[in-house]
Structure 1
Amino acid sequence: MHKEEFKALSAKIADGSATDEEIVRFNAYYDALLASGGEVPAWPNEAALLEGIRRKTAPGRVTRFSWPKVAAAAAVVLAISAGIWMFVRNNAPSIVQARPERPLIQPGGNSAFLTLADGRRISLDDVQPGDVASQGNIRITKTDNGEVVYEARPAAEGSDGKPVWNELTTPRGGQFRLLLPDGTKVWLNAASALRFPAAFAGNERKVELSGEGYFEVAPDKSKPFIVQSPAQQVKVLGTHFNIQAYADEPLAKTSLLEGRVEVTAGNSSATLAPGQQSSLNAQTGELRSGPADVAAAAAWKNGFFVFNDTYLSDVIRQLSRWYDVKADYTNLPRIRYTGTIPRNVPLDKALTMLEITGNVQFDINQNTIHVK
């Protein structure tokens, strides 16, 4: 990162216009400088301002993003920014032994299938920008930036008067953006599915999610927006939130960035304020809520893996979905990572970052990640 870029980021954070991704990059670069013994770029009369901004974005000072320090000896600090990464582990460098060459596995990208009410299944990878399909009075288009847009006129209903439902699914190694007919924006992560009506009729806007999705809900007080996932229901009026509800994750997590949501699971419910997260135990049905690093939970849509004291098993699950590989979870060391990895790097590079910071070694055999 050049001095001018660092300066520009600090100015955006100071005036409140910085995105979560930009705050992540600022913190990561600052920590990397300190970890390497370097000094923060000092230009006239601005060093004090930078430190003041740093305090604003430090743990306990902001709800949008926190960069927690490692609390246990087994934890690892990983800081990656603009292609430069530094590490700290018990104040001593790790030693990684020579390993066999790993196959080149590229990161995932925009990929999805759209299934229409009449059974047509459209590969959105192959569709050029422009018209995709139509259903009654609904026009479906794909924009130049790869987003699928639903344009609704009157409510779309089938011949029997029932809503017309569509489904957007992403494969492992895929993600996609969708603009619903009410103006709600949805980002769908890898190995996920969203089932939704082609147009919202009645007194509610209800969709069904499996996997992970980030929602920016268009406000409409007369029609609450409801996200139904296998074990819970999230009800909102207009807000920004992330839901992770993968079948292979032990917890279903709802993270709120803006607004207010109500999470219901069985006989339990929780109302979240910005900066809070609910966690539903899929086995016991227990629903808990509390403060969380919600910006880190939604960082995937901005092109980053952000780990916040995250166990290696959770890290590997996220990598395996994005790079469309399997993972061997036997004999995993109980180490934790805190830091950021760009989602656009090849798998080998991501694993190398984890190897150096965690003093572990990875191998890929038959499209499966193995930990040594």
Structure 2
Amino acid sequence: MNLLSLYHFFAGKASDKQKEAIKRWAESSPDNYETLCREKKIFDAGILLVDKKELSQKENAPLLYKLINYTVKIAAVVLLVVVSVTIYKYQELVKKSEVLQTILVPAGQRINIILPDSTFVCLNSNTKFSYPSVFATNNRKVKLDGEAYFEVSANKNKPFYVHTSKGEIKVLGTHFNLEAYSNADVFKTSLFEGKVRVRVKGNNIYLKPDQMVCYHKNGKIHLETIHDYDQYRWREGLICIKSAKFKDIMKTFTKYFGDSIVVQNKEVEHYKYTGKFRQSRGVINALRLLQKDAPFTIEQDEDKQIIYIK
């Protein structure tokens, strides 16, 4: 409903047809009724700005004086409306920025989303990601437990923060990969474009493109140059392994496929492998490929929830 129509109604200047239209609009939804009540309070507050006694004493004043007085009155009401609406919108923005939406990505799946500021995010398997429906006025904050690739929309006035259980990332506009599973031993941030600040255990580390910082559970932090980009091809559905031990490969399979794998064959624990696996083909297919080079058998429980390597 047009605000001018409402104020015309409040001032007693509306026709019967206009009154009926406003009545139907107000009764059509609780939000409309709330708006009507709120604007009525604003209108009444504006009317109180004018001293009615003073106006009555000047009924015989020249027409120009009455016109100026009326104009001042309307200007005061309009000013109050503008201020009130601005405050109301700001409060609504604050409320929305505090309410987080959460996405849970199941094992074996990936999800792409676009945030309210046009930032692109690709979420990996077993990831929990939280973000507001509307960002605050001075920053953009999200939460991550898992792995995600970000293409952050540039905005020098609103830095972008990613909070995790192990550290915090701050950027203005950049492309980077963040691996921050709360139950993992390693926290990794890899930068492809732009600049990021990684804050972990009181340390601030600034990355340049093609650099990666790793924070280990034992407290060690090391910075290195990225030479192998295959590790980030999870966004394409590829699991890329490079000279990894068998037990570490099983951890990776659990992360991507979600299956519980129990290694009973101790002879294969130190076996190393380099190769690529298509996630969509499933864990059994991946294990079959490993069987070509390592001597082990595959068994599953009756519910096919646990895989035994024998």
**Range class of TM-score, shorter chain:** 0.5 to 0.7
Aligned to 1:192: 127
1:287 aligned to 2:221? Answer: yes
TM-score by length of 1: 0.54
TM-score scaled to structure 2, two decimals? 0.64
Q: Provide closer, same or farther for how the CA distance between residues 157 and 289 of structure 1 changes in structure 2, counting only shifts above 3 A.
A: farther
- The CA deviation at 1:220 is 1.2
Higher helix share: 2
Q: 1:237 to 1:160 in 2, by over 3 A?
A: closer
What SS does the aligned partner of 2:293 have?
helix
Equivalent residue letter for 1:338: T
Give the corresponding residue for 2:306. 368
1:339 to 275, 284, 291: 275
Instruction: Find the aligned partners of 1:181 and 1:279 in 2 and give their Cα distance.
Output: 29
**CA separation in 2, counterparts of 1:205 and 1:159?**
12
- Does the Cα contact within 8 Å between 1:310 and 1:338 map onto a contact in 2? yes
SS of residue paired to 2:110:
strand
* Partner SS state of residue 357, structure 1: coil
Which one has the bigger strand percentage?
1
- Write the letter of the residue equivalent to 1:317: K
Matches within 5 A, 1:24-35: none
Q: CA RMSD in A?
A: 2.4
The 8 Å contact of residues 141 and 162 in structure 2, kept in 1 or not, is answered as: yes
The residue type equivalent to 2:223 in the other structure is: S
Q: 1:348 maps to which residue?
A: 284
Q: Is the 8 A contact 1:217 1:237 kept in 2?
A: yes
The superposition leaves residues 315-348 of structure 1 with CA deviations (integer Å, 9 ceiling, x where unpaired) of: 2122223322112256351122222111121322
Q: What's the offset of the Cα at 1:184?
A: 0.6
* Helix, strand or coil at the partner of 1:174: coil
In the superposition, relative to structure 1, how do residues 218 and 158 fare at CA in structure 2: closer, same or farther (>3 Å)?
Answer: closer
Distance of aligned partners of 1:193 and 1:160 in 2 relative to their CA distance in 1, 3 Å threshold? closer
For 1:276 and 1:241, how far apart are their aligned partners in 2? 10
Partners of 1:314 and 1:202 in 2: CA distance: 43
Q: Unaligned stretches of 5+ in structure 1? A: 1-135, 137-153
Gaps of 5+ in 2: 1-30, 32-88
Contact 1:226 1:233 in 2 (8 A): yes
Identify which of 165, 176, 184 aligns with 2:100. 165
| Residue number in structure 2 paired with 1:296 | 230
The corresponding residue for 1:213 is 148
- 1:274 aligns with one of 199, 206, 209: 209
Cα pair 1:276 1:294 within 8 Å, conserved: no
Aligned residue type for 2:147: E
Indicate the residue corresponding to 1:32 in structure 2.
none
Structure 1 179/255 Cα, relative in aligned 2: closer, same or farther at 3 Å?
same
Q: How many residues align?
A: 219
Asked which structure has the greater CA Rg, the reply is 2
Q: Is the CA contact 1:257–1:295 (under 8 Å) kept in the aligned structure 2? A: no
- The Cα of 1:363 is off from its aligned counterpart by 3.0
Task: Tell me, in whole angstroms, the C-alpha distance in 2 between the residues paired with 1:305 and 1:223.
Answer: 35
Decide whether aligned partners of structure 1 residues 294 and 209 sit closer, same or farther in structure 2, where only a CA change above 3 A counts: farther
8 Å Cα contact 1:157/1:163 also seen in 2? no
Whose relative contact order is higher, 1 or 2, with alpha carbons under 8 Å and at least 6 apart?
A: 1
Amino acid at match of 1:170: V
Which amino acid letter does the alignment assign opposite residue 369 of structure 1? I
Instruction: Using the TM superposition, give the Cα deviation of residue 233 of structure 1 relative to its aligned residue in structure 2, in angstroms.
Output: 0.7
User: Given the superposition, is the C-alpha separation of residues 165 and 339 from structure 1 closer, same or farther in structure 2, using an over 3 Å criterion?
Assistant: same
What is the one-letter code of the residue matched to 1:186? V
Instruction: Assess, with a 3 A threshold, how the Cα gap between structure 1 residues 203 and 194 changes in structure 2: closer, same or farther.
Output: same
